[in-house]
Chain A
């Protein structure tokens, strides 16, 4: 008899869900292209709104962070829609797997989306608003963005799972998520600031790296602790 043992190891189920999510995204191209387009459009808006052709320092960091945040919100909002509307939650809950696998899979999927987004949005940012020294400071920028992505992915997944079961999910997701993300956004923007400054340091300040790491850790632990309650019915 199959499937009568204890729950399958979480990573195998998580891989199955992740694989399915990426396959769905490749099939439909619903989320990532929209995120990338939105990011580029936001950069154009910033050019006109600030009336600047080039940006540097903290201003550049702020524009990049906000642009990525907006695009991330789009992707976050769609993360669980197929599960909710096409019975994915039920199918998953009927399987003999650890429920946390869903959390792992969705965080990983959102991380993949964010990295792909940045592979498009950061070059677009460099091209359109030519921040100084982006090339030299790239390792530092990549580190800050990676830590920021993890924060967006963990909190985004948690909030999205919360919002998808509400009547006004398009509204609830952003208004709940944004205040929770503010500390991580402060750290990302402030950490990126000196890196994009002609006279700043090439490596990010330790305090912001440490804080983002702490934020990611706390976020991940809390998400791990409460996620099961969002799947129950």
Chain B
């Protein structure tokens, strides 16, 4: 494509505001391919906004953003389809079944139908795949959402609190799909900093939209983490 780059994500001076409120301020981050970035910070610190910008759903207001070697938002179309987003919303239609929902996404992403069955099996949802999503428990919906997010085998996974609604067993089930073992480049946020730190190669701590810390997880002392969430 336009420029071969080793880093999966390169942010340089990224800022974003909503009206007069600045949500992200001057972020400069570089994440190598295959690595995991944990984004810490309390609600409203800008975590979700950052993920939505990386997912091409929001445009940056200042600075440059490069995702998988393509500059956003100009070449957003070139990375769409190579990103998997697992956010607070499952992005599934409540009145369609799991199989129908995944079938719809498969069509949009031009993925073979067999992949849908494969994914339903991978998240152990094949037995409940023909029930409308609205009848399923939150944990089951989250499993379907995981299947949806990686249906098209994205190179980059954006995970906004991926383990919410998942019990430990289900967490283990999705581990090979969205965990470290998946081998994908990942950006993840979590309410549970301990868990996020354990998985991360790089940590970005956000406070009021600014980078309060950027570096390896070892360099972040527990007191600073507590203060971040205070």
Chain A residues proximal to chain B, CB less than 8 Å: 1-4, 6-8, 12-13, 15-17, 19-20, 23-24, 27-28, 82, 86-88, 90-97, 232-233
Contacts and interface: CB of A to CB of B under 8 A. Distances in A.
Nearest to B153: A2
B108 A92 contact: yes
B96 A20 contact: yes
B225 to A, nearest CB: 30
Given A4-B82, A94-B55, A28 B153 contact: no
Classify the interface of chain A: helix, strand, loop or mixed: helix
Interface of B: 52, 55-59, 77-78, 80-83, 85, 87, 89-96, 100, 104-105, 107-111, 132, 148, 152-153, 155
A94 B92 contact: no
A13 B153 CA distance: 19
Contacts of B94: 86
Contact of A2 (B58, B85, B110): B110
A4 B93 CA distance: 25
A202 to B, nearest CB: 44
A82 B109 contact: no
Contact of B105 (A6, A23, A93, A95): A95
A11 to B, nearest CB: 12
A17 to B, nearest CB: 8
Nearest to B68: A4
A96 B77 contact: yes
B92 A3 contact: no
Contacts of A91: 91, 105, 108, 148
Contact of A3 (B59, B81, B93, B100): B81
A1 B108 contact: no
B81 A96 contact: yes
Contact of B110 (A3, A20, A24): A3
Contacts of B104: 16, 19-20
Given A2-B81, A90-B57, A233-B58, 19 more contacts: A1-B153, A1-B155, A2-B153, A3-B111, A3-B152, A4-B78, A4-B82, A6-B77, A20-B93, A20-B104, A27-B132, A86-B91, A86-B94, A88-B91, A90-B85, A93-B56, A93-B80, A94-B80, A95-B80
Contacts of A97: 108
B77 A233 contact: no
A90 B59 contact: no
B77 A7 contact: yes
B57 A3 contact: no
A88 B107 contact: no
Nearest to A88: B93
Interface centre among A2, A20, A82, A94 (most CB of B within 10 A): A94
Which of B56, B95, B100 is the most central at the interface, judged by chain A CB atoms within 10 Å of its CB? B95
Nearest to B90: A87
Given A2-B110, A90-B57, A24 B96 contact: yes
A1 B87 CA distance: 23
Given A1-B82, A3-B81, A95-B80, A87 B92 contact: yes
A90 B82 contact: no
